[in-house]
């Protein structure tokens, strides 16, 4: 099976994410940390289908059904979400946002159906087939969950406080990661997501 993933500028992906986030305002879901399971289940009406050991055996947190009817999610992670396990919650929030990215960016591509189980396996084993789509969905998820204006505001607040203690604070080794760790809980994501946003939004690019 051939699926040609069209090139998308980051700006186009961000616009899609920003527009989608704004559309969540009437439901009160546009502010971080975004209640992503509510968005997927109640707003988009996607079936949330739990699969046992999806992460343990396939190393996958979530995957979108090609008929766009739902998302497969690792059963253990959903149970951890129920228990308010924040570490899992942060990872799952990003994974579900990533699948919503596929839903909004790649719906047309998913119409190409597999003709046999063998074709599906050959496709799935060659990651090169869909790495561009994965990048785009990641970029969508990061932008959706971390609104740039709120990130900038939080970052500026931190800068003010840190600057009072040491004007050269930004040059301290490991400070970029430290700030990402400090701000990440506001958005309900892991600090690596914030480090990527520092880069992409040109707030604090990695040197």
Partner 1 sequence: MSFGETVKNLRIAQKVTLRQFCQANGYDPSNWSKIERGINPPPKDEATLTRWAKALGLKTKTEDWKNFMLEAEISRGNIPKEVMNDPALLEKLPAFFRTVRGSEVGERELDNLIEKIRKAHTPDED
93 binds partner 1 (CB under 8 A): no
Q: How far is the CB of 130 from partner 1 (least distance, A)?
A: 5
Q: How far is the CB of 65 from partner 1 (least distance, A)?
A: 6
- Pick the binder of partner 1 from 13, 63, 92, 180 (CB under 8 A): 63
Token pair of 21 as six digits: 């986030």
User: Residue 46 or 194: which CB sits closer to partner 1?
Assistant: 46
User: Residue 135 or 169: which CB sits closer to partner 1?
Assistant: 135
Q: Are 72 and 65 in contact (CB under 8 A)?
A: yes
- Pick the binder of partner 1 from 49, 80, 104, 175 (CB under 8 A): 49
Token pair of 193 as six digits: 């997501």
Q: Is 168 exposed, middle or buried (0-12, 13-18, 19+ CB in 10 A)?
A: exposed
Q: Are 180 and 190 in contact (CB under 8 A)?
A: no
Contact range with partner 1 by CB under 8 A, out of 10-18, 116-124, 158-166, 188-196: 116-124
- Residue 204 CB neighbours (<10 A): 18
- Pick the binder of partner 1 from 48, 104, 150, 203 (CB under 8 A): 48
User: Residue 124 or 172: which CB sits closer to partner 1?
Assistant: 124
Q: In this structure, what DSSP letter does residue 32 have?
A: S
Partners of 124 in beta bridges: none
- Pick the binder of partner 1 from 18, 33, 65, 203 (CB under 8 A): 65
- Pick the binder of partner 1 from 8, 92, 137, 145 (CB under 8 A): 137
User: Residue 61 or 154: which CB sits closer to partner 1?
Assistant: 61
Residues 3-42 that bind partner 1 (CB under 8 A): 3, 37-38, 41-42
Q: Are 82 and 54 in contact (CB under 8 A)?
A: no
Q: 144: closest CA among 85, 181, 96, 107?
A: 96
Q: In this structure, what DSSP letter does residue 25 have?
A: G
Residues whose CB is less than 8 angstroms from the CB of residue 143 and which lie 6 or more positions away in sequence, other chains included: 13, 14, 17, 18, 197, 200
Query: By the criterion CB under 8 A, which residues form the site for partner 1?
Result: 3, 37-38, 41-42, 45, 47-55, 57-67, 69-70, 72, 75, 78, 81-82, 95, 98, 102, 106, 109-110, 112-117, 120-121, 123-125, 127, 130, 133-134, 137-138
């Amino acid at each position: 099976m051939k699926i040609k993933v069209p090139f998308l500028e980051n700006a186009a992906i961000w616009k899609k994410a920003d527009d989608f986030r704004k559309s969540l305002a009437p439901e009160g879901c546009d502010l971080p940390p975004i209640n992503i399971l509510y968005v997927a289940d109640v707003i988009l009406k996607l079936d949330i289908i739990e699969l046992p050991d999806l992460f343990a055996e396939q190393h996958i947190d979530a995957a979108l059904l090609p008929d766009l009817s739902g998302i497969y999610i690792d059963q253990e992670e959903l149970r951890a979400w129920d228990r308010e396990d924040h570490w899992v919650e942060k990872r799952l929030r990003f994974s579900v946002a990533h699948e919503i990215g596929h839903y909004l960016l790649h719906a047309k591509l998913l119409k190409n159906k597999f003709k046999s189980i063998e074709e599906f396996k050959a496709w799935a084993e060659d990651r090169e087939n869909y790495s561009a789509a994965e990048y785009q969905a990641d970029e969508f998820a990061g932008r959706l969950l971390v609104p740039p204006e709120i990130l900038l505001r939080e970052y500026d607040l931190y800068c003010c406080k840190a600057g009072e203690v040491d004007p050269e604070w930004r040059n301290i080794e490991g400070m970029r990661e430290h700030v990402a760790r400090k701000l990440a809980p506001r958005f309900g994501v892991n600090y690596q997501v914030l480090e990527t946003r520092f880069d992409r939004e040109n707030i604090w690019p990695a040197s």
